[in-house]
Chain A
């Protein structure tokens, strides 16, 4: 172990830009980016499933509000949403005294809220498409068995819709990772924020941005790998069968 750290120090010695300090910034950045993206995706997914079911309802008064939500959040840039949630809330009088202030005071939670709502909107539409694409025959068969609407949703429509949505959802996860690069505009030290800091301190654009680009590539690769694995498992029945 001391060998490795000695080797590492040796490697970094005489290098102004890749020092232990800047590595610390990149590490903080990686942690922040991962937390932000992971949490927003999980919460977004949990929100998106019921929203997608409401969105596919035939009753206008149920589906329309959800449609408005997805329309607004897909129809405006994430950067604008982040600005509104972070800088906009402080224009509500008395927000500093309210119980919400500990949440909005930090930069992390407004960013998390913006990212979550944004990914929830996209994921809702992805799932709605998948629910709509359920084969008619499956629904008719479920009805013929006398399944109620709820039971049919739970046993037939949702499981198959999940599978159909998987490839599109994998893309959404990668988009979310890349979209998180705007977090540094609200003072968060994410990966891009760390690169911007090193860039502005040492006036060197190439090293920090190439370095974080590499980290983003690694993260993307891990996500791709995970979804490839999931697709292989869950979509096995769609593959051409060899006897």
Chain B
């Protein structure tokens, strides 16, 4: 009887210890803000695709878990992670200190500059306080581009904030916006390449200062899910080694 009791007590203790640790995942739900071409978007047939999606699926396969993508608008994407609507966020999220206070990031899986885009007849060579004065700037609400533009040009220009990048492009076409500030490849594919010559990049691609532009895109996890983040880091390293990463990269961004 005594033995039985102690065995069951040990059993209880083990159960308690394992539940105090982070969960062991065999099914990972990943939050993503769609569309953000070419990182995440839907094809004409309605299938979810993009660099993040393909790389994320490849990582999940490498780890041996099933992945489910859950769509969430950008401005609620971190609160959604913290309130357990999904277990990770892989949605072109730049790693920076402000976000590090809330979430745990994987190693960066891609670095992505930001850039200014404007109609080709706007006729400015560089975005600075003088050239932007009085213009209407479009940004996606709550992005690092929003923070950068708000802090640096909020006093000289009007800022229009959008929930999705799509709405912003629509208003660019409508000529409500003079200039937008976006992740470079997004602006390149949705504005420059898609609209045959109506839009151009203004000035250089921007990666500094680091306090805004951070250290590249990372997958975000809840702080306590260190084991899960570690698994994704290992998977990323493996995919980079065996060439899968390069293959996915070329699929969306062409040869380097």
Q: Are A200 and B175 in contact (CB under 8 A)?
A: no
Q: Scan A191-226; emit 1 where CB is below 8 A from any B CB, else 0.
A: 001001101110111000000000000000000000
Q: Are A203 and B173 in contact (CB under 8 A)?
A: no
| Cα of A204 to Cα of B162 in the assembled complex, Å | 19
A19 within 8 A of B: no
Q: Are A205 and B141 in contact (CB under 8 A)?
A: no
Give the contacting residue for A203; candidates B78, B141, B162, B174; CB below 8 A: B78
A228 within 8 A of B: no
Residues of A within 8 A of B142 (CB): 197, 199-201
Give the contacting residue for B161; candidates A90, A105, A197, A204; CB below 8 A: A197
Q: Are A105 and B162 in contact (CB under 8 A)?
A: no
Give the contacting residue for B141; candidates A87, A90, A105, A196; CB below 8 A: A196
Q: Are B176 and A105 in contact (CB under 8 A)?
A: yes
Residues of A within 8 A of B146 (CB): 200-201
Q: Given A187-B160, A197-B142, A105–B175 Cβ distance below 8 Å? A: yes
Give the contacting residue for A200; candidates B75, B160, B171; CB below 8 A: B75
Q: Are B74 and A200 in contact (CB under 8 A)?
A: yes
Q: Given A87-B170, A90-B173, A200-B142, A205–B79 Cβ distance below 8 Å? A: yes
Give the distance to chain A from B78, nearest Cβ to Cβ, in Å.
Answer: 5
A168 within 8 A of B: no
9 of the cross-chain contacts (CB-CB < 8 Å) are A90-B174, A105-B176, A196-B75, A196-B141, A197-B141, A200-B74, A200-B76, A201-B142, A203-B78
- A interface residues with partner B (beta carbon < 8 Å): 87, 90, 96, 105, 107, 185, 187, 189, 193, 196-197, 199-201, 203-205
Q: What 4 A-B pairs have minimum CB-CB distances, sorted nearest first?
A: A200-B142, A90-B174, A200-B75, A187-B160
- B interface residues with partner A (beta carbon < 8 Å): 74-76, 78-79, 82, 99, 102, 141-142, 146-147, 160-163, 167, 170-171, 173-176
If A87-B174, A196-B75 are given as contacts, then 10 extra A-B residue pairs at C-beta distance below 8 Å, sorted by A number, are A87-B170, A90-B174, A90-B176, A185-B163, A187-B161, A193-B161, A197-B161, A199-B142, A200-B142, A203-B79
